[in-house]
Homo-oligomer: A and B are copies of this chain.
Amino acid sequence: MRGPRARRHHGGHWRVFARVERFTEPALLLLLRERPAHGYDLLERLPELTGEQRVEMGNLYRLLRALEEEGFVTSEWDATSPGPAKRRYAITPAGLKLLEQWVEALRRSQERTDRFLRRYEERR
């Protein structure tokens, strides 16, 4: 750790971003629970959940393959639709369980942050 650098440059000033670690993983699983999709599609829809302008595509594709390796999603090449070949991902039962674990973890995180914010307000 080298310093308070979570602040990112935005139009001439530094902002603090409070993001949940590895949040793209649950976000991606949630989108896939709603319906199967391919990477580029997820790339466009992820910001709804992450609040980021865009998710790093390189990391997204690697994450998808890592999730597949561990059996949380499956994929197959989709040659039916036009345009360049796309890999269609779907969530597996193991993926649903992982998502559930994420949800529980996120609820605990909410409670922690709530406690923090209340403590901040209480004694200001």
Contacts and interface: CB of A to CB of B under 8 A. Distances in A.
Interface of A: 1-4, 6-7, 15-23, 25-27, 30, 33-34, 49-51, 59, 62-63, 66-67, 69-70, 72, 98-99, 101-110, 112-117, 119-120, 123
16 contacts: A1-B62, A3-B67, A3-B69, A16-B98, A16-B102, A19-B20, A19-B109, A20-B21, A20-B113, A30-B116, A33-B123, A49-B119, A51-B108, A107-B117, A110-B114, A110-B117
| Interface SS, A side | helix
B1 A66 contact: yes
Contacts of A105: 15-18
Nearest to A109: B18
